Amino acid sequence: MQYRSLGGTGIQVSPFALGAMMFGAAGNPDHDDSIRIIHRALDAGINFVDTADMYSHGESEEIVGKALKGRRDDVVLATKARFPVNYDPTGATPFVPNRSGASRSWLIRALDGSLRRLGTDYVDLFQIHQPDPDTDIEETLSALTDLVRAGKVRAIGTSSLPASDIVQSHWVAERRGLTRLRTEQPPYSILNRGIEREVLPVAQQFGMGTLVWSPLAGGLLTGRYRKNHENTTHRSQFGFRHLTDERRLDAVEELITLAEDAKLPLTHLAMAFAIAHPGVTSAIIGPRTMEHLDDLLAGLDVTLTDDVLDRIDEIVPPGTDIGALDMAYQPPAIQRSNLRRRPVSERAAA
C-alpha cells in the first residue's frame, strides 16, 4: 500500500479509506461480520476508517470501536457530527432543538458521544458532516479549536463545503487565530466531477487533504444498474432517484464498454479514476459485505493510462456533473425558492 499525506497534517493515510456507513442497521446488522470486514481492510493495508455519529443511530461507531480494540494506535480514525444521532431523512423522528448543527453546544456533546461509542479518548479527524447555514463559522471553528487543544481531536475538517465557504473559513481562522480546516470530504466520481472546477483547486491551494465519498456514484458504477433492466439491489429499496436517472444510466453504459475495452471491472475503473486526481488524498469505499470489499481490494494496483482517462473525459467532461446524488448537499440558495426569486412586484424590468 502506498500512503499519502493528509494535507499539511503530517498524517499518512491509504488512498482507499474504509467508510463505515454500511455497518449497522442501515446496511449490515451483523456486528461480527462487520468487524471481520474492518479487520480484512486493515490487514490489506487500509489505515483510514471514516464513520459518523448518525450512521445507524450511532451503531456504526459502536461496531468500529469494537473492531479497533487492540489496533487503535495503527488506525487514522475519523468521525463526523452535524445531524441528530437519531437522524431520520423521512422526518418521522421528532425534531429536538439544540441536538444538531455546528454550534459549540452540539459539537462538544456530539463528540463526547462519539468517543464513548468508539471506545477511545480521541479521534484523528473530526468533521462537520454538512454545512450549517444557521451557525456562524467563527462559532464552529472556535469550538473545534478548543476540542483540538483539549486533546480530543487531532485535526478538523468538513464535508460538502462549497469552495467559497472553504475560503471564508480559512480567512476567519487566520484573523481570529483559530485552528484551520485540514480536510474536505466532497462527493466525487466519474459521473460527478463538479468539484474539479473549484473545490479541489481551492483545497489544494490551502493545503487541505480531500477525502472523496461515493466514488462509485451511489452504486451506479458497480455495474449492477443497467438501462432497461430491473434493479433489485440493497440500495434500490430506498428509492434513490440518482439510480434511475436516464442521463446517468446512458453514461454508465458507455463506461461499461470502456471498462471492457480496458479489461477492467467497472468498479476498478471508477476507484482508480477517483484517486488519480492530484487533489484527491483518499477515496472512501463503503462495503456492506466481504464480497464487496474483496472486489475493491482486488483493484488496489490498477493504474489508468492517459488514453483511458481521455476516453473518460469524452464521456463525462472535466468539471461536469451528470445529474446529482440524492444525498448531495444543496445550499439554501438552491433549496429555497424565495432566495432565487424576487417578489412578483419586482420581477419586471419596467
pLDDT band for position 230 (50/70/90)?
low
- At 332, give phi and psi (nearest 5°): -55, -35
pLDDT, tens digit (0-9, with 9 covering 90-100), for 69-95? 999 999 999 999 999 888 777 777 777
Number of Cβ within 10 Å of residue 271's Cβ equals: 25
Mean pLDDT of 272-281: 98
Using alpha carbons, select from 211, 193, 185 the residue that is nearest to residue 4: 211
Percent of the chain with pLDDT over 70: 97
Q: Does the structure show a pLDDT above 60 at 68?
A: yes
* 284 or 246, higher pLDDT: 284
Rounded Cα gap, residues 23 and 109, in angstroms: 23
Q: Does the structure show a pLDDT above 60 at 237?
A: no
55 tagged catalytic: yes
Specify whether the CB–CB gap between 52 and 129 falls below 8 A.
yes
Mean pLDDT of 249-276: 97
Active-site entry in 3, 55, 122, 188: 55
Q: Considering the chain, what is the average pLDDT of its residues?
A: 94
Specify whether the CB–CB gap between 124 and 78 falls below 8 A.
yes
pLDDT band for position 220 (50/70/90)?
very high
Q: Does the structure show a pLDDT above 70 at 314?
A: yes
pLDDT of residue 240: 72
Helix axes of 137-149 and 104-118: crossing angle, nearest 10 degrees: 40
Mean pLDDT of 220-229: 82
Using alpha carbons, select from 218, 288, 284 the residue that is nearest to residue 78: 284
CA 296 to chain centre: 17
Using alpha carbons, select from 205, 202, 186 the residue that is nearest to residue 325: 186
pLDDT of residue 95: 77
pLDDT of residue 299: 97
